[in-house]
Structure 1
Amino acid sequence: MTKKAVIVGASGLIGSNLLAMLSTQPNYDEILIIARKKTRTNNVKVTQLIIEFAHLDRYAKSITGNVIFCCLGSTRSETPDLDEYRKIDHDYPVKLAEIALKNGIEQYHLVSSISADARSSNFYLRMKGETEEDIKKIGLKSLHIYQPSVLIGYRQSARLLEGISIFFLKITSPLLLGTLKKYRAISAHSVAKTLFKQSLKNQTGVFTYTSDKIKQLSK
């Protein structure tokens, strides 16, 4: 049986790891990348749909498959305009979930953030929490929400301060024990591996994985 995966955000840290993984696995025969610009790949399984996210509805008929992996996300430095930031991290993932339901896509996998909370006073965590809550309301058959902590991995646009922060997190992470384990830094590869593995289980319902659980499931 032909199985098709849709990856949104394939150029990001988690999305690029996931694309590389799915490209070499026999479980998916087709991979559709949805992006604003082309991703460098020559894998025969991959097709690319280049879109304007502000007009997602125009492309709805082309967004089909068995599984959607939504790895969309930005940062304040990349998107200082908070309205634009919210569109990328909230509006587009929610619209994609609505399209997934309408087109009969069985699974939706959303990359969120540790401590996401719709009632948080922090803009970023509140936005991530609202995204989770709004997608839950859509009524998808199978919704998987991943809440990774600080991500470790190669970034093309790495910044000095960010690199220093990750260095110290690598050192201090083993000191985070018990309920604090979920705040340990985690590799983007581990997150991508868990997305892939969970997509093969065909579970129904809503599932949320904090960083420590993601790490455990990736093994």
Structure 2
Amino acid sequence: MADDIFIALGTTRKHTPDEAEYYRIDHDYPVLAAKIAKANGAQAVFVVTAVGANAASRLFYVRTKGEVERDIIALDFAHTHIFRPSMIMGQRVEDRPGERLIIAAWHVLNPLLLGPADRYRGITGGEIARAMLHAARGDAPKLRVYHWKDMAALQREPDRQA
């Protein structure tokens, strides 16, 4: 039995250059995990996709994330929570100098991203996880999409015991 399922699975183009394999990891596995959890009684799904996710996009990454959302929503959980971070900040296990440079630049850009652009602010993986946990402990509508501002607001909520 399961109550909730949390899905934050994904790969990188560097590790998975083949589009079919990339799609299998970023789309098929999360959707399969959600299906299995639903079959085992899960009432809520919490999934990390990406800012701008859109199943109709011409961009492979954005389209893949949008298709994950579409297909998980179609499973008709009692509660579906979609977390759409932009740049995921923080340390990486592997050395990725280009990404390190982009993350450093994002730290400078973050305070400049205001109003509707705040959804592009960077956030750490730990902050996303805490937001997911807080969302799981609260009341929610059937479908809720969280951008940076929503995830940041959840960070300010006091911890509650489950």
TM-score normalised by L of structure 2: 0.92
Task: Name the SS of the counterpart of 2:46 in structure 1.
Answer: strand
Instruction: Report the Cα distance in structure 2 between the residues aligned to 1:184 and 1:158, rounded to whole angstroms.
Output: 23
Instruction: Report the Cα distance in structure 2 between the residues aligned to 1:202 and 1:213, rounded to whole angstroms.
Output: 14
Aligned residues: 156
Counterparts of residues 5-24 of structure 1 (less than 5 Å): none
The structure in which a higher percent of residues are strand is 1
Letter in 1 for 2:19: L
Bigger radius of gyration, 1 or 2? 1
Instruction: Report the Cα distance in structure 1 between the residues aligned to 2:91 and 2:146, rounded to whole angstroms.
Output: 23
Please tell me the root mean square deviation across aligned C-alpha atoms, in Å: 1.2
Task: Name the SS of the counterpart of 1:135 in structure 2.
Answer: helix
Which string of whole-angstrom CA distances, capped at 9 and with x for unpartnered residues, describes residues 114-142 of structure 1?
11111111100000001100111111111
Q: How many angstroms does 1:158 deviate by?
A: 3.0
Q: Could you list the runs of 4 or more consecutive aligned residues of structure 1 that deviate by over 2 angstroms after TM superposition? A: none
Q: How many angstroms does 1:87 deviate by?
A: 0.6
Instruction: Report the Cα distance in structure 2 between the residues aligned to 1:120 and 1:204, rounded to whole angstroms.
Output: 26
Matched with 2:160 is: none
Q: Are residues 204 and 181 of structure 1, via their aligned partners in 2, closer, same or farther at CA, if it must alter by over 3 Å?
A: closer
Instruction: Report the Cα distance in structure 2 between the residues aligned to 1:83 and 1:195, rounded to whole angstroms.
Output: 29
Instruction: Report the Cα distance in structure 2 between the residues aligned to 1:101 and 1:66, rounded to whole angstroms.
Output: 9
Q: Which structure 1 residue ranges, 5 or more long, are not aligned?
A: 1-63
* 2:111 aligned with 1:146: no
Task: Name the SS of the counterpart of 1:129 in structure 2.
Answer: helix
Which string of whole-angstrom CA distances, capped at 9 and with x for unpartnered residues, describes residues 23-81 of structure 1?
xxxxxxxxxxxxxxxxxxxxxxxxxxxxxxxxxxxxxxxxx322111010001001111
Which moved further from structure 2: 106-115 or 201-210? Answer: 201-210
Matched with 1:183 is: 120
Letter in 1 for 2:38: L
Q: How many angstroms does 1:98 deviate by?
A: 1.3
TM-score normalised by L of structure 1: 0.69
Letter in 2 for 1:149: S
Alignment counterpart, residue 92 of structure 2, candidates 136, 155, 160: 155
Q: Which structure 2 residue ranges, 5 or more long, are not aligned?
A: 157-162
Determine what percentage of the aligned residue pairs are the same residue: 36
Task: Name the SS of the counterpart of 2:45 in structure 1.
Answer: strand
Letter in 1 for 2:117: L
Matched with 2:24 is: 87
Counterparts of residues 1-219 of structure 1 (less than 5 Å): 64-219=1-156
Q: How many angstroms does 1:204 deviate by?
A: 4.8
